């Protein structure tokens, strides 16, 4: 195979892309299609929300599928901290004399809440309509869980023996809740999921425009999440006698400073690669600006212009934004307390505590407290010193397999790294020292991202092509050459 450089991609100008439609669906045999369909439907129809759902039911259903397909019971574990939040860990045994450490695939089984009255269809019913599958989790991310289970069974039926173990962990509480499965497994049963690297199809994928494939993006790093409570307290008093020292004004002044003071522009290997490749797909001022921020020194005017776009802005720096406020206790009383939630998405290399101290310095107001709020809503004086990991080096085996299978299924599209601006379970595996890559074979239109939203859906063809993609990708990764 032709050697490609670190971020080497075949950057193809948009105008020269021809004959790009995915062509592999027809290669999926009927039995695999039926199996994939049935598993996907089963997963969508098991409610796994934190409020009333049950992740264990989904984990057990997938465990049963694997047992029925001939996986030994000793290699299938359903385990977790409580009855509703058990995780499935399945080990596909590789060659017994392999010296290679396993590959881990992680996928969350839980889904974001969805109300029937908000949706056109029942979110917990698997509905095929107008060329799409509808249901909560059809994008995020039961689609990929179904694909992984299908491909495990398919490879098993073929008698395929990978050159190392492949571990599949389908887990709880990525979207919320107190029992994050990846975190729990790493802390309590690391031996079950320890691996050389992890693949997490919760991010990345093929971006299409009206069905036309534009690029294969994969996540190579992600930002760190943190909430901060900015609060002021005051003795208050009668509102007919206002004083300059007012809890609401203290908080509002701080937020106004935050609005006007963006965090500094930064680049790392991943975002450098992202903008390098993205520039090749853009034209005019945007393309020029992307090149200008990569120059040494970077052009500040170009940084400012790109920062007008929310996605680029979030890729260029740490962001902190006010998301909630609560203040006062009566219309005719001076406020005794005002508080705001500031949500930060921290650029790799910085810690929560470092950003908290940045906020304290920016606000420069001794009447304010700035405290860290944990995922379970506990308030702490300090944030953690743990940092969003600096991106791990791109594993050449993973990159070669990704490029080769992408070129086969979507010929001619560039493959490029991205920094996930949200957060996924990869943050846990990365912090545990397991390099993690967000690789997904689902093609979605860039204006049809409905994860967490109403009428979540995936094109039927994308699903079956995704089945094909992971099957080929895993085999490519684990076949001795």
Residues that bind Zn ion (CB under 5 A): 140-141, 202
Contact assessment for residue 343 and residue 320, using Cβ atoms and an 8 Å cutoff: yes
Q: Using the minimum distance from each CB to Zn ion, give the nearer residue, 151 or 202.
A: 202
User: Any idea of the CA torsion for 44, 50, 56, 57, to the nearest 10 degrees?
Assistant: -40
Joined tokens for residue 202: 């919760």
Q: Using the minimum distance from each CB to Zn ion, give the nearer residue, 140 or 219.
A: 140
Q: Cβ–Cβ contacts within 10 Å for residue 19, how many?
A: 7
Return the sign of the alpha-carbon dihedral for residues 373, 375, 378, 384: negative
Q: Using the minimum distance from each CB to Zn ion, give the nearer residue, 176 or 237.
A: 176
Contact assessment for residue 238 and residue 334, using Cβ atoms and an 8 Å cutoff: yes
User: What H or E segment, with its residue span, contains residue 398?
Assistant: helix 396-409
Q: Using the minimum distance from each CB to Zn ion, give the nearer residue, 107 or 435.
A: 107
Distance set, CA 333 to CA 144, 325, 454 (Å) = 54, 18, 41
Return the sign of the alpha-carbon dihedral for residues 420, 374, 140, 437: positive
> Shortest distance, CB of residue 280 to Zn ion, whole angstroms?
29
The burial class, CB within 10 Å (0-12 / 13-18 / 19+), for 52 is exposed
> Shortest distance, CB of residue 98 to Zn ion, whole angstroms?
31
Tell me how far apart the alpha carbons of residues 144 and 148 are, in angstroms, rounded to a whole number: 6
User: What H or E segment, with its residue span, contains residue 334?
Assistant: strand 333-334
Beta pairing, strands 197-199 & 436-437:
parallel
10 Cβ neighbours under 8 A, 6+ residues apart = 407, 412, 414, 415
- Choose among 368, 440, 364: nearest CA to 409: 440
> Shortest distance, CB of residue 79 to Zn ion, whole angstroms?
21
> Shortest distance, CB of residue 145 to Zn ion, whole angstroms?
10
Q: Using the minimum distance from each CB to Zn ion, give the nearer residue, 205 or 459.
A: 205
The β-bridge partners of 334 are: 237
> Shortest distance, CB of residue 172 to Zn ion, whole angstroms?
12
Q: Using the minimum distance from each CB to Zn ion, give the nearer residue, 76 or 143.
A: 143
> Shortest distance, CB of residue 202 to Zn ion, whole angstroms?
4
Q: Using the minimum distance from each CB to Zn ion, give the nearer residue, 109 or 340.
A: 109
Q: Using the minimum distance from each CB to Zn ion, give the nearer residue, 111 or 474.
A: 111
> Shortest distance, CB of residue 295 to Zn ion, whole angstroms?
35
Q: Using the minimum distance from each CB to Zn ion, give the nearer residue, 202 or 456.
A: 202
> Shortest distance, CB of residue 107 to Zn ion, whole angstroms?
9
> Shortest distance, CB of residue 143 to Zn ion, whole angstroms?
10
- Choose among 132, 135, 131, 110: nearest CA to 120: 135
């Amino acid at each position: 195979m032709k050697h490609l450089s670190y971020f080497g991609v075949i950057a193809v100008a948009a105008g020269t892309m021809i004959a790009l439609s995915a062509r592999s669906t027809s290669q999926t045999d009927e039995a695999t299609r039926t199996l994939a369909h049935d598993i996907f439907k089963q997963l969508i129809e098991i409610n796994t929300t934190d409020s009333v759902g049950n992740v264990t039911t989904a984990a057990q259903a997938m465990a049963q599928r694997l047992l029925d397909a001939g996986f030994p019971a000793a290699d299938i574990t359903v385990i977790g901290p409580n009855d509703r939040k058990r995780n499935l860990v399945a080990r596909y045994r590789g060659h017994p004399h392999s010296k290679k450490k396993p590959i881990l695939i992680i996928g969350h089984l839980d889904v974001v809440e969805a109300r029937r009255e908000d949706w056109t269809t029942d979110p917990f019913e698997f509905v095929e309509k107008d060329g799409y599958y509808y249901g909560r989790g059809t994008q995020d991310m039961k689609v990929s869980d179904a694909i992984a289970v299908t491909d495990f069974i398919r490879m098993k039926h073929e008698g395929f023996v990978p050159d190392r173990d492949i571990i599949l962990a389908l887990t709880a509480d990525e979207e919320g809740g107190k029992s994050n499965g990846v975190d729990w497994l790493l802390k309590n049963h690391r031996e079950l999921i320890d691996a050389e690297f992890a693949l997490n199809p919760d991010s990345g994928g093929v971006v299409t425009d009206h069905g036309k494939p534009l690029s294969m993006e994969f996540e190579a790093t992600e930002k760190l999440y943190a909430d901060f409570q900015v609060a002021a307290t005051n003795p208050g008093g009668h509102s007919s006698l206002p004083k300059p020292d007012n809890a609401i004004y203290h908080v509002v002044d701080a937020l106004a400073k935050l609005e006007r003071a963006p965090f500094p522009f930064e680049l790392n290997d991943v975002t450098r690669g992202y903008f390098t490749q993205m520039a090749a797909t853009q034209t005019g001022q945007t393309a020029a600006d992307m090149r200008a921020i990569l120059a040494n020194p970077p052009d500040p005017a170009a940084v400012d212009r790109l920062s007008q776009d929310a996605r680029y802005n979030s890729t260029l720096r740490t962001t902190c934004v006010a998301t909630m406020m609560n203040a006062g206790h009566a219309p005719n009383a001076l406020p005794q307390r005002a508080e705001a939630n500031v949500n930060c998405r921290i650029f790799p290399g910085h810690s929560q505590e470092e950003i908290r101290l940045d906020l304290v310095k920016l606000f420069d107001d001794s009447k304010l407290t700035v405290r860290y709020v944990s995922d379970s809503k506990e308030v702490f004086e300090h944030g953690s010193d743990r940092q969003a990991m600096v991106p791990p080096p791109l594993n050449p085996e993973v990159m070669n397999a990704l490029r080769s299978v992408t070129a086969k299924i979507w010929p001619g599209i560039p493959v490029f790294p991205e920094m996930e601006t949200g957060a996924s379970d990869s943050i846990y595996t990365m912090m545990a020292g397991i390099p993690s890559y967000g690789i997904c074979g689902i093609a979605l239109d860039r204006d049809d991202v409905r994860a967490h939203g109403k009428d979540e859906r995936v094109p039927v063809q994308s699903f079956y092509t995704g089945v094909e993609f992971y099957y080929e990708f895993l085999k490519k990764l684990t076949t001795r050459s």
